[in-house]
Copies of this chain bind each other. A is one copy, B any other.
Amino acid sequence: MRAAVLRGTGRVTVDQVPDPKIEEPTDAVVRVVASGICGTDLRGYLGRPGPVRGPRCGHEFIGVVANVGSSVRSIRPGELVVAPFMFSDGECHRCVHGAQSSCARGGMFGVAAGGAQAEGVRVPFADGTLVPVPFDEHDERIPAVLTLADVMATGQHAVHAGGRPTPKTMAVVGDGPVGLCAVLAASRLGIERIFLLGHHEDRLRIGQKFGATDLVSLRGAEGRAQVIEATEGAGAGLVVEAVGEQDALDTAMAICVDGGAISVVGGPHGTLDSMACSSRNITVSGGPVPVRAYLPALLGEVVTGKLDPSAVFDRTLKLADVGHGYQAMVDRHATKVLITL
* Residues of A bordering B, CB below 8 Å: 93-94, 97-99, 101-102, 161, 164-165, 232-234, 257-259, 264, 268, 271-275, 277-288, 290
Which A-B residue pairs are the 4 nearest by beta carbons? Answer: A99-B259, A102-B258, A281-B287, A283-B285
Q: List 23 A-B contacts (CB under 8 A).
A: A93-B233, A93-B234, A94-B258, A97-B259, A99-B258, A99-B281, A101-B281, A102-B258, A102-B281, A161-B281, A164-B164, A264-B278, A268-B278, A271-B273, A271-B274, A271-B275, A272-B274, A277-B287, A281-B286, A281-B287, A281-B290, A283-B283, A284-B285
Question: How far is A340 from B113 in the complex, measured between Cα atoms in Å?
Answer: 68
User: In whole angstroms, how far apart are the Cα atoms of A99 and B259 in the complex?
Assistant: 6
Is the CB–CB distance between A281 and B274 below 8 Å? no
Question: Taking the full assembly, how many copies of this chain does it contain?
Answer: 2
Q: A271-B275, A283-B161, A283-B284 are in contact. Are A259 and B102 (CB under 8 A)?
A: yes
Q: Are B97 and A257 within 8 A (Cβ)?
A: yes
Is A268 a contact partner of B275 (Cβ separation < 8 A)?
A: yes
Q: With A99-B281, A277-B284, A281-B285 given, can you name 10 additional A-B contacts, CB distance below 8 Å? A: A94-B257, A94-B258, A98-B259, A99-B259, A102-B259, A272-B274, A273-B274, A274-B284, A282-B287, A283-B284
Which residue of the partner chain B has the closest CB to A286? Answer: B278
* A35, B167: Cα distance in complex, Å: 37
Complex CA–CA separation, A271 to B99 (angstroms)? 24
* Cα of A99 to Cα of B279 in the assembled complex, Å: 11
Chain B residues in 8 Å Cβ range of A288? 279, 281
Query: From residue A188, how far is it (CB to closest CB) to chain B in Å?
Result: 19
A324 to chain B, nearest CB (A): 32
Closest approach, in angstroms, between the C-beta of A149 and any C-beta of chain B?
18
Contact residues in B for A281 (Cβ distance below 8 Å) = 99, 101-102, 161, 285-288, 290
Of B97, B274, B280, B287, the contact of A280 (CB 8 Å cutoff):
B287
